Amino acid sequence: MNERCERFIQTIKLECLAKFVIFGKHHLDHLVRELVTWYNHHRAHSAREILPPIRHIPDEVETVQLDEVVIKWHVGGQVKSFERRAA
């Protein structure tokens, strides 16, 4: 369990804190909240078949065309996720 915590802290440092100048506790809290939301809802996790932790595993997987994909930016534009464009 400790290695998972250490890995998560490393992710916070690399994906967020190393890319910003922090202007106080409120700013730090905001950035970490944004990163945690991205991490739990959008980031691909290999242990979950490339799905984020807070998402169910679909019954089947479809192939999508590139023009059906939307890029969403998180954590002040430092990280991104991809979603299927609404029909």
Locate 35 and state its tokens: 């990163």
pTM exceeds 0.85 for this model: no
Reference 68, options 52, 51, 82, 49; nearest CA is 82
Per the model's pLDDT, the better-predicted residue between 71 and 46 turns out to be: 71
pLDDT in tens, 14-65: 877 888 888 899 988 888 888 888 877 777 666 666 666 666 656 676 777 8
Per the model's pLDDT, the better-predicted residue between 69 and 58 turns out to be: 69
CB count in 10 Å sphere of residue 66: 5
Quote the distance between the C-alpha of residue 27 and its chain's center.
19
Q: What pLDDT is stored for residue 45 in this prediction? A: 65
Reference 70, options 61, 79, 82, 80; nearest CA is 82
CB count in 10 Å sphere of residue 35: 22
The one-character DSSP state at 55 is S
At 72, the pLDDT band (50, 70, 90 cuts) reads confident
